[in-house]
A and B are shown apart, each in its own frame.
Chain A
Amino acid sequence: MTSLLNSPTKTSLNTSRRSFLKASALGSGGLMMTIAMPGCATLKNGGLSKIGNTERWDANAWLRIDSDNSIHFVLDRVEMGQNTYTGMATLVAEELEVDPESINVSFAAADSVYRNTVYGLQITGGSTSIVSSWEIVREAGAATRMMLIKAAANTWNISESDCIANKGVVINQAAGHPQNGQKISFGALAAIAATYSVPNDITLKDKADFKLIGKYNKRLDAVKKATGTAGYGIDTELPGMKYAVFSRAPRWDSELKSFDASKIENMPGIEQVFAVNKPSAIGVAIVAKSYWQAKKAQQLLSVEWGDSELTKVDNASIFAQYRKDMSQDSGKNVRSEGDIQAALSNAAQTVTTEYKMPFLAHATLEPQNCTAWATADGLEIWAPTQSPDMAQVAAAKASRYSLNDIKVNTTFIGGGFGRRINQDFVAEAAAIADHVQQPIKLIWSREEDTQRDWYRPSSLHKLTAAVDDSGNITGWNHQMAGSGVFDYFVGDAAPAQYPFMPKFMFGVLESAGKMGEGIIAPADGSIFEGANEIPYDFANINVDYKKSDSGILVGNWRSVGHSHTGFIVETFIEQLAQLPQVKAQKDAYQFRFDLLNKHPRAQAVLKKAAQEANWGTPLPGCTQGISIHKSFGTWVAQIADVEVDANASSDQQLKVKRVVCVVDCGQVVNPDTVVAQMEGGIIFALSAALYGDVTIKDGIAQQTNFHDYQLLRINQAPSIEVHIIESNEPPTGVGEPGVPPLAAAVANAVTAKTGQLFDSLPLKLG
């Protein structure tokens, strides 16, 4: 999952774990376990929601056992490829003693039974770590199993210790008992179990007893996705549904002045053309019987837009602004150890590089879309969104409906990567549906999706290292400037913390959220995370971040700040490793390994990568580059074997033949998912390393579709080998950590061949 802000940190629980679980009976004779599961670092868990010392924490997972023996696990998470669902089902199944395939995994609370159970659940205190999420889901499974066993024991009038659960039944093992060896199914026990409270002492299995965790390798949604039957947002179909397209200003800050629909009003299928002026939804909507009719008409729509602050903004002006802001004020100190000024002035030599990182588009293969149905009773939304609660706020702001009248259904997601944390597509659909009072499906074109993205922020970095006579690195100074992503989603995120607040308070909550960044909400690390946490053992370290807003829309992009700091830190380290006095003593691998002396897990990952890739013996025609980065709690080292062909066409000069990847993400739940996420992260990152560059001219992104915003294709994909470090540590992230080290591994391989040092992306031979 994409983190919104910094990686989560574990905080102590104010209440017992049991407060996260609640059991209730269903009218149909079933058992419902309601689970309040901490998220992967969401604002919800930041200080924002602690105002007044009370936290409203809605449950977000439900485990239901019906009398017909069916088992349902419902999550308010979304599945966008990361295989959370299989992972979570595996955790439940391990303790519940069922086959993961017997669990019906489904999306959020579309069924009112969940809503009713959830409503009013209020918990004080809380924590936000993956660690407790991994424990709580298993605890839910274990508690349910214990309650089912208790129900069976009471039925047979035997001791609970004489019962065991296995494959969805409880078996009577009481020696000499008349029903010895008999079984009762979970479904038959559910109604009795539902009368018990959640047990006080829940003991989880020891690792040695795991049957599934660390072993189970299936993907529960694979059949649906191989048969075209997984329902994505764009596949939503409602009775009488119309199709909408939406013309936005080329620059997001322009107002709509006027439009002329005279050429399109009488075109076939066109039903309504109207202006929309709502937060996050400014433009002209065309509603038609079919998508193609709306799309064709859109090309003939003429719109006059107001002025924009961005008309003179381009890449050059943006980086000039970053440079100016950074030179005037170093900004916020985000890491300080020792005395960097002394280290720099006492250095025998200093090394400085300025890095320019580009804007990047998410390019989810499913374009943004949203289906909405407004009636007198309320507004219902079907959206491929990563943040259903923020979608609800966005819909409320863009329509006449209040939060209580808006229901958001989620769907399978055709790639998220952080794009769908911003809810503009939901706001637009809500506004359009509110106007027409009919079901509509809004679909963005690829061009709209590329040009109106919330990009990975561009940023400027200046790194300086102090080096002594013997080639020791005595100081590391990193200054940087760029927009923070927090400002661009807090407007929907802050009100989502307070679902009981009336709409007129949203503006106040947004302002409070912005002011509270770093104080009552986690600091926005979207530029500096990964840079402030460099693991290398230098005596003097200083890292400063100067916020400098480019005015271009920015957002979370797979691995967020790590997406650029992984490259910057690991290419600058490479530059230092290439200093003659350093190179004379050790190679780039050993240089890193020695400096990681305080991080044994990092050293183990790096060492394994060197072994598996035959470090020092590249593939024929290749050179090797090495890189390591920690993000979301997970260490990843990668070694790239790259063939450099200076005579090839400009986009074919760097051929990445193989990437060896070693990952330590603690205890693995589904090993094949870890491998898949590393493979995917590497290819995602390689697209960016070789091609990723959204350039701004006159305030407008110049890229439109896959011909000028290239993504890696199968013929360019390297072979990938993933090795997982066996670990007993709690699990950490896997969806994003494969991304950060890759660009540097490739760049460093090219440096090994040509000597060229890289200070920008995408990588271009000099």
Chain B
Amino acid sequence: MIQLTVNGVEHSLDVEADTPLLWVVRDYLNLKGSKFGCGAGLCGACTMHLNGEPIRTCITPISTVAGQAITTIEGLGDQGSLSSVQQAWVELNVPQCGYCQSGQIMSATALLAKNAKPNDDDIDSAMSGNICRCGTYPRIKAAIHSVASSNATSNDDLFTNIMADQKPSVMEEK
């Protein structure tokens, strides 16, 4: 049995040790927001946070993260409200097909948690592991800048905002 904490919930799983974290989260925990794109850590569609750091979960055996804290796209925001990063994604109409966007948002969230005012080079370097086949890069960049400029000026405040966003909800079922 492998212990795992995902989005604050503890799980005990009977799963082979080499199973990638991605498939455990998708198929055993039924959290489908994180995506399979390449199986080789090349596209970033599977990005989750391990103790706040973005990792490629399609090549992360579950045994290597046992007992640790994982955050997925489902763990952002707070009870039906969008995180500030998600909010910016919606306001700027970032997604097209949308398949890569969970991974993009996880990478962007981790970047902004560490660097409240990233410049273009910072964004390029933090986000270049995430492929978007639809080509939404200009909007991803704009959305990250938009969060940076509208949010708190210090890293601490921003981190607080992202991790426990209290903004009003715009989430509606469509």
What residues of chain A have their CB less than 8 Å away from a CB belonging to chain B?
A: 80-83, 101, 104-105, 217-232, 234-235, 237, 243, 268, 290-293, 296, 363-367, 412-417, 443, 445-447, 672-673, 676-677, 679-684, 705-707, 711-715, 717, 719-720
Contacts and interface: CB of A to CB of B under 8 A. Distances in A.
A712 B94 CA distance: 17
A268 B23 CA distance: 16
B101 interface: yes
Contact of B40 (A229, A414, A446, A711): A446
Contacts of A417: 133
A414 B46 CA distance: 14
Nearest to A686: B135
A714 B95 CA distance: 15
B99 A415 contact: yes
B73 interface: yes
A438 to B, nearest CB: 16
A672 B93 contact: yes
A510 to B, nearest CB: 31
A719 B138 CA distance: 7
A555 B161 CA distance: 47
B14 to A, nearest CB: 11
A766 B72 CA distance: 46
A713 B96 contact: no
Given A232-B99, A234-B36, A715-B124, A292 B133 contact: no
A402 B101 CA distance: 38
A705 B171 contact: no
Contact of B133 (A415, A447, A720): A415
B124 A714 contact: yes
Interface residues of B, number: 63
A219 B128 CA distance: 25
B148 interface: no
Nearest to A366: B99
A223 B82 contact: yes
A105 B96 contact: no
A684 B96 contact: no
Contacts of A711: 131, 133
Interface in B20-50: 20, 23, 27, 30-40, 42-43, 45
A413 B100 CA distance: 11
A707 B42 contact: yes
Contact of B135 (A80, A222, A232, A712): A712
Contacts of B93: 217-219, 222, 672-673, 676
Given A228-B33, A237-B32, A268 B123 contact: no
A223 B138 contact: no
13 contacts: A81-B95, A104-B174, A222-B90, A237-B32, A365-B132, A367-B37, A446-B37, A672-B93, A680-B135, A684-B135, A706-B42, A707-B40, A715-B128
A365 B27 CA distance: 19
Contacts, number: 193
Given A237-B30, A290-B23, A706-B43, A683 B35 contact: no
Q: Which 6 A-B pairs have the closest CB atoms?
A: A228-B33, A683-B135, A414-B99, A225-B98, A81-B96, A81-B97
B127 interface: yes
Contacts of A681: 135
Interface string B131-174: 11111111111000000000000000000000000000011101
Interface string B96-124: 11111110010000000000000000011
A365 B73 contact: no
A221 B95 contact: yes
B96 A676 contact: yes
Contacts of A367: 36-37
Given A290-B19, A292-B20, A446-B39, A714 B140 contact: yes
A226 B138 contact: no
Contact of B32 (A225, A228, A683, A717): A228
A227 B42 contact: no
Contact of B82 (A227, A363, A446, A680): A227
Given A365-B131, A679-B139, A268 B16 contact: yes
A235 B105 contact: no
Given A235-B32, A364-B133, A365-B131, A81 B98 contact: yes
A715 B132 CA distance: 12
B139 to A, nearest CB: 7
Contacts of A712: 135, 137
Contacts of A443: 36
Contacts of A235: 32
Interface in B65-89: 72-74, 76-77, 82, 86, 89
A293 B14 CA distance: 13
B86 A227 contact: yes
